[in-house]
A and B are shown apart, each in its own frame.
Chain A
Amino acid sequence: MRVVICEDLVLLRDGLASLLTDDGNEVVAAVGDGDALIAAVDEHHPKLAIIDVRLPPTQTDEGVRAAVDVRRRHPDVAILILSQYVEERYASDLLGGGSQGVGYLLKDRVADVREFLSAARRVAAGGTAIDPEVVSQLLSRRQRTDVLDELTPREREVLGLMAEGHSNGAIAERLVVTNGAVEKHVSSVFMKLGLPPTDQQHRRVLAVLTYLGV
């Protein structure tokens, strides 16, 4: 797939580019700031944009703002944000416009090449990939009130893995249970969150959004 990378530190930018190229992707542009990112996305219209949160000139959250911009201009371009730190606020900004084709991962995840690449593919295909740390941070915030309280610990675990973007099969593998058991938990989650039985993928996204509180 065609990918645009936006990362200001050259070492990491080159590393990411080789990583993705090795996997058979085409890195059509690798840029160092938000303006260049938007120009590159306008020009190449890639499948996926991988964006560092911290970019010049302010070195704060330029990346998130650039990502929101890209999303508005090109809703079909998937976005994977890489961040040195977990910031709940960044996640909310990003997921505010829907969680389809959005990922938010700690930079550390790049080290697990296979998982990182599968997360990138998942996001590019319209799924989500939320870092477990982000998820647990959001979860601890959500624990105070609301519908999520009605979920059993197991259901909450399943929902957390859904938020990270895993399919039922992958969740079953992780929790070492059968596919059927996962499906049971998932439909129980949908019911408790009051989500109408429509398209399965759409309900999944809504559940995740409820869960993330955005």
Chain B
Amino acid sequence: MPAVLHQFRPAQLWRDSLYVFGGIILAAFWLTVLWTLVSLGVGLAVLTVGVPILFFSLLLWRWGANRERERATLVLGSPIANAHRPLPPQGFWKRWGARFRDPATWKDLLFLGLVGPIVWVVFGAVVVALWAAALAALLTPVFSGSAPDGSWLGGLRPAEVVGIAVAGLVGIVLALAATRGLAAASGALARSLLAPGDRAALEARVAEVEATRAGAVESADARLRRIERDLHDGAQHRLAYVAMELGRAREKLADDPEGADRLIADAHQESKKAMVELRDLARGIHPSVLTDRGLDAAVSALAERCPVPVDVDVALDRRPPPAVETAAYYVIAEALTNIGKHAGATHADVRTRYDVGRLVVEVADDGSGGARRTAGSGLDGLAQRVEALDGTLAVDSPGGVGTTVRAELPCR
């Protein structure tokens, strides 16, 4: 489907209509409630009872504006970002002061109490009028036969009836275009008033960077702790055991060569296990095949070690930046480990591809589902790692259906 037609899918038409016509009802609601409350509040402000009313209406319109930010998903495809400045964590009056000083509060009122309702009503009326006219024209042939003689409709000649019907068809196209166009325009208007301004956007960005940076440090710490733990419980204690067994063997060598031989054989076994553990651990820290050969080779190796059959589809025409590649690798590694351990799956799929400046990684299985990101979990560590690169990690894991882990990593 060409991109232009994509805009006119029936589903989008319904969403556009819902947005505009829903807006008409909301317009009536907000115009009444908000202006009643505000004028009541202002009018009674001298008697102090007006003050709480004003405070309440401020909370109400900020809340309503947030609902509008969400409702804009219908026409914009995604919600409008919240423009409200973060409130101070405590202090009743400080918090109220922040609400009053925030320009977003007043833009919310402007939108919800004036611009929004006008736009919805006007646009709604235009859309309704267009649809009515177009449908009426289109249906002229149906009604012209049964129209009473002498009326305007009954007196039309057949050619005129066909002409009007054709005009109706054109009108339908026009109405379609107008619905989409006006819905998109009202969405854009909503965005211009409700979306964060440059400064607010920067502030939000800084807050996000701070949070993800802390997350990145935390996840790196957690990884180091895990490595230390693995070393301590694994190779380190095996090597201590090997040394001890060899020491005992030396003591026995003269008097009991057979006993010494048994001890040496045992130490030999354990030293091999220690080597395997060290190799696995080193690979877990950073697989050299990833550096040498890239994601495809590294992921194929992961898939081979996974107890569940895995289809790998790495469709990348160039290598992503190293940090992105490593993060993608860990998303896949962790997801496959989880599948092997918990999912009870019979099959898994790994897909990676580029999509408009982003590397998209998806690992899906047909197991028992129910995976969640809880604080401190492996998934949480992964998410922190991905977020530190400005990416997103989504876990979709309905019980009994399977789990899909999807990471999107920006590649600039």
Contacts and interface: CB of A to CB of B under 8 A. Distances in A.
Interface residues of B, number: 18
Interface stretch (A8-16, A96-104, A119-127, A181-189): A8-16
A108 interface: yes
B252 to A, nearest CB: 8
Interface string B208-246: 000000000000000000000100110011101101111
A111 B246 contact: yes
Interface residues of A, number: 19
Contacts, number: 46
B232 A15 contact: no
A12 B241 CA distance: 6
Given A108-B243, A110-B244, A111-B240, A9 B233 contact: yes
B342 interface: no
Interface string A90-115: 00000000000000000110111110
B247 interface: yes
Given A11-B241, A15-B241, A19-B244, A113 B251 contact: yes
B247 A22 contact: no
A54 interface: yes
A84 interface: yes
Nearest to A110: B244
Given A111-B243, A113-B251, A59 B236 contact: no
A113 B270 contact: no
Nearest to B250: A113
A16 B247 CA distance: 12
Nearest to B251: A113
B233 A15 contact: no
A178 interface: no
Contacts of A15: 241, 244-245
Interface string B160-193: 0000000000000000000000000000000000
B101 interface: no
Contacts of B244: 12, 15-16, 19, 110-111, 113
A110 B237 contact: no
A25 interface: no
Nearest to B252: A22
Contact of A11 (B238, B243, B248, B251): B238
Given A11-B270, A54-B232, A59-B229, A108 B247 contact: no
A138 B310 CA distance: 55
A18 interface: yes
A108 B251 contact: no
Given A9-B233, A54-B232, A108-B243, A22 B248 contact: yes
A18 B248 contact: yes
B247 A110 contact: yes
B266 to A, nearest CB: 9
A115 to B, nearest CB: 9
A107 B250 contact: no
B237 to A, nearest CB: 5
A175 to B, nearest CB: 25
Contacts of A19: 244, 248
A110 to B, nearest CB: 5
A9 B229 contact: no
B267 to A, nearest CB: 10
A84 B241 contact: no
Contacts of B241: 11-12, 15
Given A19-B244, A59-B229, A108-B243, A9 B251 contact: no
B236 A113 contact: no
Nearest to B246: A111
A11 B251 CA distance: 20
Contacts of B252: 22
Contacts of B243: 108, 110-111
Contacts of B245: 15
A68 to B, nearest CB: 22
A9 B248 contact: no
Contacts of B250: 113
Contact of A111 (B229, B233, B237, B247): B247
A36 to B, nearest CB: 19
B242 to A, nearest CB: 8
**B233, B240, B248, B251 pick with most chain A CB within 10 angstroms:** B240
A6 to B, nearest CB: 15
A84 B246 CA distance: 19
Nearest to B231: A84
Nearest to A22: B248
Contacts of B237: 9, 11-12, 107
Given A9-B233, A108-B243, 11 more contacts: A11-B241, A12-B240, A15-B245, A22-B248, A22-B251, A84-B232, A110-B244, A112-B247, A113-B244, A113-B247, A113-B250
13 contacts: A11-B270, A12-B237, A12-B240, A15-B244, A19-B244, A22-B251, A22-B252, A84-B232, A107-B240, A110-B244, A111-B240, A113-B251, A114-B251
The 10 closest A-B pairs by CB, nearest first: A111-B243, A113-B247, A110-B244, A111-B247, A9-B237, A15-B244, A11-B241, A15-B241, A107-B240, A113-B251
